[in-house]
Structure 1
Amino acid sequence: MRTSTRTPARLAGALAALALALGGAGLAAPAAHADERACINQVERELRGGEAPDYVRTACSAGLGGDHDLCVSGLTKGGVTNGTAVSACRVAP
C-alpha cells in the first residue's frame, strides 16, 4: 500500500512544479518589456517634452539586451545628462 500512496503525492508535486515553472515563464516576458519602458520613462521625465525620440528607444533597447555602455552612450549623445542615462540604463536589463 505504501507505493500507491506515494505515487499520487509525487504526481501532485510534479504537476505543482510544472505549473510554477510555466507560470514563472509567463510572468518573466512582460517584465522585460516593462524594464525597457522604465528606461524610456526615466529619460522622458528629464526631457519633459512628451514622448521620447527614437534614439532613446534604441538606446534603452540596447540596455535591455545587456549592453549598458551602448545604452548610456546612445542617450548622452542625444543630449540626456550622464546621471539620467546611467540610472535609466540600469533599470533596462
Structure 2
Amino acid sequence: MRTSTRIAGVLTGLTLALGGAALTAPAAHADVTACINQVERELRGGEAPGAVRTACYVGQTGDHDRCVTALTASSVTNGTAVTACRVAP
C-alpha cells in the first residue's frame, strides 16, 4: 500500500472519529433542554425555575422517579413531569 493512500485513510478515519464525537456530545445537552422545554410549555412561555433545571439534570442521569418527584414538588403536574423526565435521559 502506498504511503499517500495510507495517510489518506488515517486522516479519513480521524475525521470520522472526531466528527462522530462532536455529533454525539450535544445530544446529552439537548435531552435536558427537551425536558426543560416540556415544563416551560406547561408554564405557557414562563421560564423554568432552577429547581426544574436541576430535576431535568437528575433525569438525564437516568433516575426517572427522582426527576418526577422533584418536578412535582416544583408545582409541575404529574403528567408533564412524567413526559419531561422521559425525554431527559
Distance 2:59 2:9 in 1: 38
SS in 1 for 2:67: helix
Match of 2:16 in 1: 20
Q: CA deviation at 1:15?
A: 2.5
Please give the residue correspondences for 1:65-76 in structure 2 after superposition, counting only pairs within 5 Å.
65-76=61-72
Compute the TM-score of the two structures, normalised by the length of structure 2: 0.83
Match of 2:25 in 1: 29
SS in 1 for 2:48: coil
Cα offsets for 1:2-26 (capped at 9, x unmatched): x44xx54444333222211111111
Q: Are residue 92 (structure 1) and residue 78 (structure 2) matched?
A: no
Compute the TM-score of the two structures, normalised by the length of structure 1: 0.80
Give the alignment's Cα RMSD to 1 decimal.
1.7
Q: 2:57 aligns with which of 32, 52, 61?
A: 61
Structure number with larger C-alpha Rg = 1
SS in 2 for 1:86: helix
**Number of equivalences:** 89
Match of 1:42 in 2: 38
Q: Kindly tell me: are residues 50 and 14 of structure 1, through their superposed partners in 2, closer, same or farther at Cα, counting changes over 3 Å?
A: same
User: Structure 2 counterpart of 1:30, which letter?
Assistant: P
Q: Which moved more, 1:11-20 or 1:52-61?
A: 11-20
